[in-house]
A = this chain, B = another copy of it.
Amino acid sequence: MKKEIDNKLNLKNIKPTAMRQLVLQVLTEQKTAISLPELEQKFEKADKATLYRTLKSFQENKLIHSIEDGSGSLRYALCQDNCECDPEDLHVHFLCTNCNQTFCLNDIPVPTINLPSSFSFESVNMVVKGICSNCKK
Residues 110-130 of chain A: 1 if any B CB is under 8 Å from the residue's CB, otherwise 0? 110111101111111111111
Q: A124-B129, A126-B126 are in contact. Are A108 and B113 (CB under 8 A)?
A: yes
Report whether A122 and B126 are in contact in the complex, using a CB–CB cutoff of 8 Å. no
Residues in chain B near residue A108, CB distance under 8 A: 113-115
Could you tell me how many residues of chain A have their Cβ less than 8 Å away from some Cβ of chain B?
34
Task: State how many copies of this chain the complex holds.
Answer: 2
Is A41 an interface residue, CB under 8 A from the partner?
no
A74 to B72, CA, bound (A): 8
Task: For A125, list chain B residues within 8 Å (CB).
Answer: 70, 125-127, 129
Q: Taking the complex as formed, is A94 at the interface, i.e. its CB lies under 8 A from any CB of chain B?
A: yes
Q: Chain B residue with minimal CB distance to A70?
A: B125
